[in-house]
Amino acid sequence: MHLTPSNHGLDSLLTVWGNAQTLPLKVTRWGRYVDADDRLRRQTNLQHCFSVVLLATIVLPRLRSHIDLIDGKLDESLVLRAFILHEEGEALLGRDVIWQDKAHIKDLEEYTAFIEQYKALSPFDLKKCQEAFLLQFARKNPECFPVEARCIMRRLFKKSYFEALAFEAIETVDYLLYALECHDDHTDEVVLAHVLRNQIPRLDEFAVLLPGFKVEVWTKKLRKYCREKLKQFSHVE
């Protein structure tokens, strides 16, 4: 989205606002799977951002009482803002990096694109957006990131540890839901087998680290179903 100079003073905000709606529509997720099987729904980055916000809206209140007993307060606003912004880098670069191909250098490229776009906002707005964007990397704190970003991630890890865990856990559940859709609606085994193989260990980790997750989300019934399906799909490469 390109703007001609104006005197209303909202050029930078209008650019960010417009690009956040249009660019994610052009990026298709799950590329290797949807390209191989045209029955599968081609999920865009914009749809993913909406789906994780919806999921967080449902899951966070469930986790709140469990986390509040330990940490005092769950900052749901931070998690929701993180979900709204977390794909901005990929949208600006016009790409989706599937989880098997994730690498810190690609995360850095996305962060750099994000900052280049959002730096035109006021310092206060930039700081809040930067903090929300970096929540997704807070537990990793990649060494290749700039010093300022690493300081923010270090602070988030210390002050918003459960929020960072909740972000990762909810996005992992979003992966699972897409895979279940592919299986239930189109009898696709590949997406579900790959997601279960890669994400069950992470879901088990969140069940240990994130208060309430094992009770409210990664339940005994769901764990049993997923492990049975994984065993059933052991032949899938």
Give domain status of residue 2, yes or no.
no
Q: Give the amino acid at 82.
A: A
Give domain status of residue 6, yes or no.
no
Structural domain span for residue 140: 11-232
Task: Indicate which CATH number applies to the domain containing 152.
Answer: 1.10.3210.10
Alpha-carbon gap, residue 156 to 137, rounded angstroms: 9
**Domains of the chain: total:** 1
Give per-residue pLDDT as tens, 22-72: 999 999 999 999 999 999 999 999 999 999 999 999 999 999 989 987 767
pLDDT category of residue 5 using cuts at 50, 70 and 90: low
* 213 pLDDT higher than 60: yes
Give domain status of residue 3, yes or no.
no
Give domain status of residue 237, yes or no.
no
Whole-model pTM?
0.94
Give domain status of residue 5, yes or no.
no
Alpha helices in 41-122 (DSSP H): 45-71, 76-85, 88-93, 104-118
Cβ proximity of 81 and 128 under 8 Å: yes
The pLDDT assigned to 3 comes to 52
Give domain status of residue 135, yes or no.
yes
